[in-house]
Structure formats: structure tokens, C-alpha cells
Amino acid sequence: MMKKIPVQITPLKRTRYAFQRLRVCRSCHNFTVLWEKECMHCGKSAFIPVEHMAVRLTKRSMQTERLVALFLTLAGVLFSSTFQEIAICLGGGLALTVLLWIVQRQMVQTESPRKLSKWFNQEQDRLIQGLRLNIEAAVSIRPDNERLAYEMLREIGTLVDSDRNRLQQLSLLRSFILRRDMDLQLESLLLFHFDEGLAEYIGEIAKIKPELIKERTLLYVLDHEAEFLSMPGGKEILAATVGAIVRMKRYVTLYPEFIRRYARLLPKDRFLRLFRIVTTDPHLQFSNLAVEVAEIYNSKYQWDPDFQNTDKKLGHNV
């Protein structure tokens, strides 16, 4: 068995949009999603958040528009033949430039996201190159500092949709002693195909942080149920998953057959939870799940005082 190491994982900082995690070097336009001070491309300490860069670019293009307005004003003055024409061109041109400046000032915030999306399209290659440098940095640090390598890969994973990255994160997570108080991820690590490492991780999460087992994980487990069963300890992982999802009545109503298949393996507290849901939900009372729950109850918990307050309905059914 793999020897696990104790670690302290830094919680992942949440942002509203994934791109807000990116910084860009003012000097060479290299992107990074990590937190290094010096640019891995040009070596300078000139990173700024991409949102700041978007504001700078927007202001710069607005400045160009104002210069064009001023240039047109001056051209009008030069081509004027009378003093009156000069006064009209100059006054009108300057008034329009000031008006433009006022309007632009109000538009900076709304214009910046549009500018940013256009700019990302132009800088696509550099963005890919920057993320590639980030991945190389994470991989190279792994032999010396697994925790840091995991945090780097997790950060990269917020922007890079790659199964390879997910597998690397999973292999690192499986080498750590996981605790409930850690900021752990699950849905972001789900793969399309079956993977034993992911299956084991799901089993561990189901025990220490059952609230992370949600619809998408459940669908992954259901899609690969046969593969789970064929791996060592797979049945126990499925039982742990069922133990995790019975916390929500909704899942019991949606997936009664899946729960029925592993109900017998549930520990007492999880079975009690399932028992209470089944006995109080009229839609489930005549289901196969209710029959299975009744059989388990009769064979294991009939005389258990914890079940006494809730057993009447099911007892009546049996």
C-alpha cells in the first residue's frame, strides 16, 4: 500500500470568472495562472492581473480616438479661410473632444470586458505558451514538493480542461493523508473514462466529505458501476457512495435502485437515515427499495432502540 504523507493544503481562492485568475507580464505579454513574482519568459517582475491590462488597453484605444478627434479639429482649423471658420472649427472640435472624453470615462468599465475578449483571441498562442510554462513548472517541482505541485496543478486545472492534469492531481491526492478540514475538490477531477485512482478517491471523499458527492459524481459512479465492482474494494466504495447520498432525500427518490443494491452494506447511522427517508416518503413505500430496507431492518435492527420511533410505518408494510 502507498505510504501517505500528512500535508497542509492551502484553500483554493475562488473567483467569479476563471480568467480572473490570470496575470500577464507587461513587458513580454507572457501569461501565468500561478503566483510567481518573476516572469518565466523574460525574467522581469512585471505581472499585472489581466483585468487591469484590459483597462489599460481600453484607455489606450480611447486615447487614440481622442487624438484623432483633435487631429481632425486641427485639420479643420488649417483649412479654414476666415477667422469665423477657425473659431467655429476650434470651438466645435474642442467641445466634441471634451464630450468624447466624458462619454469614454463612463464607458471604461463596460468596454473593458469586450476589449479583454478580443485581446484573448489575439493572444491565444501566448496564453497557451504561458500555461504550458506553468505546467512544466508544476511537473518539475513535484519530486521536491508534492503539496506545492498539487496546488499548482489545481490552479492550472481551473483554466486547462485536461484529463492528464486531473490524473496528476489524483495521483498526488492519493499520496496525501486527506482530512475533512481540507479544501478538497471532486467534480473538477471527474474523468470520462473509468480510473481506479479516481474510484478510490471517490470512496475516500464519500467517507470524509460526503457533501462533495453530488449529481455529476453519482452519474460517473452509475456509468461505471460494473468497473467499480470488478476492482478490489469496489463494492465498499459503492456502499460509501450510497452512504454519502442518503444524506439528501432527493437522491434517494431519484436513484432508489442503485441505493437498494448496496443498502445492506451501509453502517448503522447511514442505514437509519435511509430508513427514515423511506418510511416517511409515500412514493417510496411500495418500491423495491422499501422491501429491501424492510428486510434489512427485520434482520438487523428490529430490536434496536434508535429505530423505534420511526419503525411503525415500515413495520406495518412488511
Site of interaction with Zn ion (CB under 5 A): 25, 27-28, 30, 39, 41-42
CB 87 within 8 A of CB 129: no
In the complex, minimum distance from the CB of residue 244 to Zn ion, in angstroms, rounded to a whole number: 46
Listed residue (207, 31, 61, 42) closest to 128, CA to CA: 31
Listed residue (51, 15, 50) closest to 32, CA to CA: 50
SS (H, E, C) 19-69: HHHCEEECCCCCEECCCCCCCCCCCCCCEEEHHHHHHHHHHHHHHHHHHHH
- At position 69, the amino acid (one-letter code) is A
Nearer to Zn ion, 38 or 65 (CB): 38
Upper half-sphere CA count for residue 287 (Cβ side, 13 Å): 23
Nearer to Zn ion, 24 or 153 (CB): 24
In the complex, minimum distance from the CB of residue 48 to Zn ion, in angstroms, rounded to a whole number: 11
Nearer to Zn ion, 22 or 199 (CB): 22
Nearer to Zn ion, 36 or 225 (CB): 36
Nearer to Zn ion, 33 or 272 (CB): 33
Q: What is the DSSP string of 93-119?
A: HHHHHHHHHHHHHHHHHHHHHHHHHHH
In the complex, minimum distance from the CB of residue 35 to Zn ion, in angstroms, rounded to a whole number: 15
Listed residue (283, 245, 289) closest to 264, CA to CA: 289
Nearer to Zn ion, 22 or 198 (CB): 22
The number of beta carbons lying within 10 Å of the beta carbon of residue 279 is: 22
- At position 196, the amino acid (one-letter code) is E
In the complex, minimum distance from the CB of residue 129 to Zn ion, in angstroms, rounded to a whole number: 11
In the complex, minimum distance from the CB of residue 15 to Zn ion, in angstroms, rounded to a whole number: 22
Nearer to Zn ion, 30 or 169 (CB): 30
In the complex, minimum distance from the CB of residue 56 to Zn ion, in angstroms, rounded to a whole number: 16
In the complex, minimum distance from the CB of residue 61 to Zn ion, in angstroms, rounded to a whole number: 22
Tell me the CA distances in angstroms from 144 to 16, 137, 139, 268, 315, one per residue in order.
32, 12, 10, 43, 60
